[in-house]
Amino acid sequence: MSTLNDLPVVVVGAGPVGLAAAAHLHERGLPFTVLEAGDVPGAAVRQWGHVRVFSPWRYNIDPAARRLLDDAGWVAPDLEALPTGAELAGDYLQPLAEVPQLKPHLRYGARVEAISRVGLDRLRTAGRDTTPFLIRLADGQEVLARAVIDASGTWGTPNVLGASGLPARGEADVAAHLEHALPDVLGVDRDRFAGRHTLVVGAGHSAANTLLSLADLAAEHPGTAVTWAIRTTSPARTYGGGDADALPARGALGSRLRAHVDAGRIRLLTGFSVHALTPTDGRVTVLVRHADGSEEQTSVDRIVAATGFRPDHSIAAELRLDLDPVLGATRALAPLIDPNEHSCGTVPPHGVNELTHPEVGYYAVGMKSYGRAPTFLMATGYEQVRSVAAALAGDWAAARDVQLDLPETGVCNSNPDESANADSCCGPAPAVQSSGRGLATGISGGLLAAPLSLLTLDAAPADTQTGGCCAS
């Protein structure tokens, strides 16, 4: 059997964070293999290719990846422009996956089914830390690894529509009428929404994107109706920081959404949870339960469940993980990202120390590392994998020197039932913070419907989702 030092580090997932991990491992001179379930790099990113992110290119390019690309003659995009998912995949991830230092180490169509230790289940302790990891693929092949960096993300495991963390009664029966986050309302999915009544459930940026697209569609197609339902009693956090947001596109998103609600173009229901769904004459009857316990029914054609995502740790069931019981992140990371506690989108810089499990050599990074917290940022994931790669190379000084340079959110209030404007809460946000300020510009938190004018429409400055001021 191979010893640990003879084996590569296996990276699960060839998305932005997975490929960044590969770039850092290459710079450290560590052998690696990237296993990607899709047929192309950034397969999940391409599924929301029509959507534009809030953060400009300069926050979305990993430094080690940039060095590889520059050496290959890559022409960088305008670093202040806002890329779409398609541009992120086509103009950054695809060229990165093609550089000769990475390309031979990427395997596509390699879906990971389970991760364990060779000859050891979770109960066995003797020799565990010196035994190679065993990665079993869906096709039955097995790969051995010195360490595992799991950057598989959460895109494939969206949250359910019902309250209490459980599917609504009948949710499976209306699958033909149900959409998950970020359908291409103005593009390939237009015919499913034009002239129909759509209910959007969720209080994050993904919901806001879809609502704005539906409002635009309604202006073009009479009979298109839009209802927005949130569980909290106020949409304040969805509206965001407005003019105080250091990312103008994100502030404009909330301002536009508020203008549509105030004008009656989008009907807003607050204190709302989906209790039961019933297919009825080609439509869906939705039984809703209000915060006071009362119930009512409404009938719609389509439902968009923009309710966020959750991690799937089942592939690591035979590993010894120490997960926070609330978020599903590591116990050390959870207090830093808990959306029930933090405000202003503050996510301190963190790395290998906060990502370490009792299973030595296994690290969940990127979106998956945040569990159910909806505040992930690509730049945060890049710093995670830089730190992990340094630790695997034995450079603990670099591994523990974690830093981030992120713009302020301009959103300060983590209480969903309060409305505080930026001036009364934190004051106008500076353009850049170097103290590890976090912001929601990951897949679940930082998406911006394209196109979007940065001018607010018919709206006064906005006031300040389940789960935190910078939640998705």
Domain spans of the chain, in order of start: 4-152+310-400, 171-307
Residue 110 buriedness (CB in 10 A; 0-12 / 13-18 / 19+): buried
Q: What is the pTM of this model?
A: 0.84
- Higher confidence at residue 431 or residue 227? 227
Please say if the pLDDT value at position 419 is more than 70: no
pLDDT of residue 432: 32
Of residues 215, 210, 230, 225, the one with CA closest to residue 300: 225
CB 470 within 8 A of CB 403: no
Rounded distance, CA 183 to CA 207, Å? 10
pLDDT digits (tens, 9 = 90+) for 274-312: 999 999 999 999 998 887 888 889 999 999 999 989 999
Mean pLDDT of 193-219: 93
Mean pLDDT of 61-70: 98
Q: Which CATH number fits domain 171-307: 3.50.50.60, 3.30.420.40, 3.20.20.150, 3.20.20.70?
A: 3.50.50.60
Mean pLDDT of 172-192: 94
Taking the CA atoms of 104, 152, 11 and 350 in sequence, report the sign of the dihedral they define.
Answer: positive
Please say if the pLDDT value at position 315 is more than 80: yes
Fold match between domain 4-152+310-400 and domain 171-307: yes
CATH architecture designation of domain 4-152+310-400: 3-Layer(bba) Sandwich (3.50)
Of residues 329, 333, 198, the one with CA closest to residue 265: 198
pLDDT digits (tens, 9 = 90+) for 1-21: 557 888 999 999 999 999 999
Q: CA-CA distances (angstroms) from residue 348 to 43, 70, 247, 402?
A: 29, 29, 19, 9
> Strands 51-53 and 112-117: what pairing?
unpaired
Please say if the pLDDT value at position 133 is more than 70: yes
User: pLDDT band for position 249 (50/70/90)?
Assistant: low
CB 137 within 8 A of CB 35: yes
